[in-house]
Structure 1
């Protein structure tokens, strides 16, 4: 289970993302980026953050530590923004905290060089979880202490928005042409050789075990949270074995609109 903390002070909203996360202090004296159950993306965005964040770390990729974070909306009463107030009121109870990386800088491909090996590992991982939100438009990576860190995985695991088609997700290709690391000649074959054998159902079960029961209860078509967790493992394990064969790295299409779903971009529409 993830460590558990209680939010003690709402510091400020972070307006870079569509979900309006907040910078929050907690009773363990840590500072976290808090993602809220009351945000438009809902609890499935937080489920994706947990499963992908934990999996990334198990595979040796850098991603912030996660915590279960309890929120009493009263801590934000001094916040003047009505949108933030509404978000806090809608998110009382259990939310998700990500370790704040002070002084980190947004990834800039012109200022930070990434080796083909590291680029390949990130592209392969994003293909596995079908990350539609790590493009040149919005890299969702930061540089901290000279290293590349992965953040914001709420737009992954699109299959869990339509469980009926989840098993087909293993065969879906991944177009990495617009990926933020595509210009660095990612060595996907080497990444697959190293990482695919590690992505077993046992590892996926360990990562899924960190998803709180509260976010899995009452999922349509499932009897209990453990059954939902097992469904994530069944969908991802076979994809890990062959996804490298279906990754496309072509010319970036910079004149094409973002392929992220409407619920992520705020332009309406549902994930398929």
Structure 2
């Protein structure tokens, strides 16, 4: 189970995309980016964050710690924005927190060099989860203490918005031409050889078990939360076996709009410590 915390103070909203995450402080004295069940696509976005983030972590990629975060809407009563107030009221109870990385910088390919091996692992992973939101337009990558960190996976696992089509996703190709790490010559075959064998039924069962039942209950077409978990695992297991054969990396597009659904995106660089101080 993910570690559980309680939000004690709502600091400031992050006004990007449709999910409107917020910076909060918690009872463990930590600071987190909080994602809400009452925002955008609600619990499906949080489910994707947990499954993808924890799968990435187990595959050796860097992801900020994810925690279960209980919210009492009263913590935001001083927030003047009516939209934020409504969001907090709609999100009472269990939500998701992502560790805030103080001093982290948004990834800039001109300022930070990524090795071909690491680039290959990230591209392969994004192909596995069907992540449409790590492009040069919106990398959803941070640099912290000299290392590359992956954030914001709410736009991945796109098949869970239409489960009858999920089976077809196992072989669906992944165009990495606009991927933020495509310019670094990602070694995709090498990454597949190293990572695909790790995506075992046991690993997928472990990762999907971290999703709270409350976020899976009532899913159309499924009788139990465990049945939903098994469906996620089935697609990911099948995709891991051959996805490297269906990844293409061509010239990046110059003016094509982002393919990420607008209501799922929201992964922009986190605020700097100075902007966080201003919000206090």
Normalization by structure 1: what TM-score?
Answer: 0.96
Q: 3-state SS of the aligned residue for 2:251? A: coil
Q: 3-state SS of the aligned residue for 2:252? A: coil
Alignment of 1:146-165 (within 5 A): 146-165=146-165
Segments of 5+ residues of structure 2 without an aligned counterpart are: 267-280
Match of 2:275?
none
Match of 1:62?
62
Q: 3-state SS of the aligned residue for 1:69? A: strand
Q: Distance in 1 between matches of 2:112 and 2:231?
A: 38
Alignment of 1:211-250 (within 5 A): 211-250=211-250
Match of 1:255?
255
Q: Which has the higher contact order (CA 8 A, sep 6+)?
A: 2
Moved more, 161-170 or 124-133: 161-170
Q: Give aligned pairs, total.
A: 266
Alignment of 1:57-136 (within 5 A): 57-136=57-136
Q: Distance in 1 between matches of 2:6 and 2:185?
A: 43
For the aligned residue pairs, the C-alpha RMSD in angstroms reads 1.0
Q: Give CA-to-partner distance per residue, 1:99-131, whole Å, 9 cap, x none.
A: 110110000001000000000000000000000
Q: Is the 8 A contact 2:155 2:265 kept in 1?
A: no
Q: Distance in 2 between matches of 1:104 and 1:195?
A: 27
In the TM superposition, what is the alpha-carbon distance from 1:264 to its structure 2 partner?
A: 2.4
Segments of 5+ residues of structure 1 without an aligned counterpart are: 267-272
Alignment of 1:170-181 (within 5 A): 170-181=170-181
Return closer, same or farther for 1:229/1:90 CA change in 2, 3 Å cut-off: same
Q: Distance in 1 between matches of 2:260 and 2:25?
A: 31
In the TM superposition, what is the alpha-carbon distance from 1:202 to its structure 2 partner?
A: 1.2
Normalization by structure 2: what TM-score?
Answer: 0.93
